[in-house]
C-alpha cells in the first residue's frame, strides 16, 4: 500500500501542476475535484481523533516532533496544538505532506473531512461531498449557471444574478447537492432588475475554475463547454442546456433562442474604430446606471461592412463564441435539432467598449416541439409573446 499510495499521490501532484501551468481556456477541465486539488493554503477541518492519530503516526515514524517538522513542515506549535489542545484544522499542503510521509493516499481521509474552511468560519462547506462531482445533472446545472448569468469574481466567490425565484432555488439546491452543507447564500442586491446571490467559500469558486469556468468577465475570453459535459450523458447535457435556456433564452410557439455577447475591443484597429464611429448608425438606449449604443446587424449592414471594411467583418465573424458551437452540437445530439448561430448586433458602452451579440435561433413547429420535449422546458416558463 505504501509505495502505491506515494506513487498515486505523486501522479496527482504532477497532473495538478501541469494543469496550473497551462492557462489557455482550452485546458482540460476536471469533472471531479478533490480536496487536494484546492489551493495549498485552504484550511480543512478533520475529525480531531483522525488528525491526532495521523500526527501521532508521523511523530512515531520520524522519531520525534522536531524530525516530523523537518520532514513535513508542520510546525512544532501546530503539532502541539493537534496532539494536546484539540486543534482539528490543517492546511491542504500540510496534509498532503503528512500523508506523503505516511505513504497514505489522499482520498483515504475524504470521509473524515468535516469542513472545508476553519471550524468557526461561517462560509465553510460543512460535511463536504468529496470529491465534488460535476459530471451529474446538478453539477452541469452549476457549470451552466456560472457560465451564463453567474460568474466567479477575482476573489473566487461564485455569484449568480437572476430575479427568477425558480432559477435561484435550482442553483442553490445544485450547489448544496454537489458541495455539501453551506450557509444561506448572501443576497447582495435585490430589485431594480437584478438580484445577486453569492456563495462566499473560496473552495467553491476554485473548484468551479478547475471544472472549466473562467474567473472574471467571460465576454473578454472565449471558452468551451467542458468536455465532460459536451460528451456526457443525456441527463448531464439536458441539465446544462435547461439552465442555459432558463438563464439566457426565450421561447414562444415555434421559436426558441438565446444570446451571448463577446468583446471585440482587442481585435479592432484604429481604422475599424473610425469606420464604426462614422459609418454605422447606432441607437442610444438608456439602461440603469449607463447608456448603451446598439446597431442591429441586418443583411444590408452585413453587406455594407463586407464591402467597405472586410477586416471589421472578419473581426465580427471570428468573434463567434466557441461555446455556442458546443451547445449547438449538444442540442443536436439530444434533440436532433441545430440552431442557426448569427451575429445579431454590435453595441457599445463607455465602460466595456465594443461588443458583438450573437444569437442562436431555432424555428419551426417540429423543431420547437423537439427541443421543448427533449430538454424538458415548460411552455408556461420563459414564454414571451
Planar angle of CA 378, 379, 383, nearest 5 degrees: 115
**Joined grid coordinates for residue 235:** 441527463
Radius of gyration, alpha carbons of the chain: 25
Tell which residue, 322, 331, 358, 351, has the closest CA to residue 24: 322
Measure the CA–CA gap between 256 and 350, rounded to whole angstroms: 31
| pLDDT for the residue 260 | 95
Return the pLDDT at 285: 86
| Domain span(s) for CATH 3.10.28.10 in the chain | 132-216
Residue (of 237, 232, 223) closest to 151 by Cα position: 223
Q: Are 339 and 361 in contact (CB under 8 A)?
A: yes
Please say whether the beta carbons of 152 and 216 come within 8 A. Answer: yes
- The string of DSSP codes covering 61-128 is HHSSHHHHHHHH---HHHHHHHHHS---EEEHHHHHHHHHHTT--GGGGGGGEEEES-TT-TT-EES-
Q: Looking at domain 132-216, which of 3.40.50.10860, 3.40.630.10, 3.10.28.10, 3.40.309.10 is its CATH number? A: 3.10.28.10
Cβ atoms of 358 and 258 closer than 8 Å: no
Q: What is the pLDDT of residue 193?
A: 63
Measured distance CA(338)–CA(288) in Å, rounded: 35
Residue 195 DSSP SS3: strand
Q: Where do the H-state alpha helices sit in 309-359?
A: 310-318, 322-335
The three-point CA angle 370-373-374 to 5° equals 75
Helix, strand counts (H, E) of the chain: 15, 16
Alpha-carbon distance 362 to 131, whole Å? 38
Q: Give the CA distances from residue 63 to residues 41, 71, 80, 82, in Å, rounded to whole numbers and listed in that order.
A: 27, 11, 15, 17
pLDDT tens-place values along the chain, 385 residues long = 555 555 566 556 555 555 444 444 345 899 999 999 999 999 999 999 999 999 999 999 999 999 999 999 999 999 999 999 999 999 999 999 999 999 999 999 999 999 999 878 899 999 999 999 999 999 999 999 999 999 999 999 999 999 888 999 999 999 999 999 998 888 887 766 678 999 999 999 999 999 999 998 888 989 999 999 999 999 999 999 999 999 999 998 899 999 999 999 999 999 999 999 999 999 998 766 678 999 999 999 999 999 999 999 999 999 999 999 999 999 999 999 999 999 999 999 988 899 999 999 999 999 999 999 999 998 765 654 3
Q: What is the SS3 assignment for 339?
A: coil
Q: Three-state SS for 370?
A: helix
The pLDDT assigned to 381 comes to 53
Q: What are phi and psi of 61, to 5 degrees?
A: -70, -40
Amino acid at each position: 500500500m505504501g509505495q502505491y499510495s506515494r506513487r498515486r499521490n505523486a501522479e496527482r501532484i504532477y497532473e495538478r501542476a501541469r494543469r496550473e501551468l497551462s492557462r489557455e481556456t482550452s485546458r482540460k477541465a476536471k469533472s471531479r475535484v478533490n480536496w487536494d486539488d484546492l489551493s495549498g493554503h485552504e484550511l480543512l477541518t478533520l475529525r480531531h481523533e483522525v488528525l491526532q492519530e495521523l500526527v501521532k503516526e508521523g511523530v512515531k515514524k520520524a522519531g520525534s516532533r522536531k524530525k516530523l517538522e523537518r520532514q513535513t513542515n508542520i510546525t512544532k506549535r501546530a503539532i502541539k496544538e493537534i496532539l494536546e489542545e484539540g486543534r482539528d484544522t490543517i492546511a491542504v499542503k500540510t496534509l498532503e505532506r503528512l500523508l506523503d510521509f505516511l505513504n497514505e493516499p489522499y482520498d483515504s481521509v475524504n470521509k473524515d473531512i468535516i469542513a472545508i474552511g476553519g471550524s468557526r468560519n461561517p462560509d465553510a462547506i460543512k460535511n463536504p461531498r468529496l470529491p465534488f462531482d460535476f459530471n451529474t445533472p446538478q453539477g452541469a446545472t452549476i457549470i451552466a449557471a456560472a457560465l451564463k448569468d453567474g460568474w466567479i469574481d477575482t476573489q473566487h466567490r461564485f455569484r449568480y444574478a437572476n430575479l427568477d425565484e425558480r432559477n435561484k432555488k435550482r442553483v442553490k439546491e445544485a450547489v448544496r447537492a454537489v458541495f455539501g452543507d453551506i450557509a444561506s447564500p448572501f443576497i447582495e442586491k435585490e430589485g431594480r432588475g437584478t438580484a445577486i446571490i453569492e456563495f462566499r467559500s473560496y473552495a467553491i469558486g476554485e473548484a468551479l475554475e478547475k471544472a472549466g469556468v473562467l474567473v472574471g468577465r467571460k465576454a473578454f475570453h472565449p471558452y468551451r463547454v467542458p468536455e465532460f459535459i459536451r460528451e456526457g450523458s443525456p441527463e448531464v447535457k439536458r441539465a446544462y442546456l435547461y439552465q442555459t435556456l432558463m438563464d439566457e433564452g426565450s421561447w414562444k410557439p415555434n421559436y426558441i433562442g438565446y444570446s451571448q455577447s463577446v468583446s471585440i475591443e482587442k481585435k479592432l484597429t484604429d481604422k475599424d474604430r473610425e469606420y464604426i464611429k462614422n459609418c454605422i448608425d447606432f441607437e442610444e438606449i438608456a439602461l440603469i446606471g449607463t447608456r448603451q449604443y446598439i446597431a442591429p446587424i441586418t443583411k444590408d449592414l452585413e453587406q455594407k461592412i463586407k464591402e467597405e471594411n472586410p477586416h471589421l467583418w472578419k473581426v465580427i465573424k471570428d468573434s463567434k463564441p466557441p461555446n455556442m458551437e458546443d451547445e449547438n452540437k449538444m442540442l443536436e445530439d439530444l434533440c436532433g435539432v441545430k440552431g442557426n448561430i448569427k451575429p445579431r448586433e454590435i453595441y457599445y458602452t463607455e465602460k466595456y467598449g465594443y461588443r458583438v451579440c450573437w444569437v442562436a435561433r431555432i424555428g419551426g413547429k417540429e423543431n420547437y416541439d423537439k427541443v421543448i420535449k427533449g430538454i424538458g422546458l415548460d411552455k408556461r416558463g420563459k414564454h414571451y409573446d
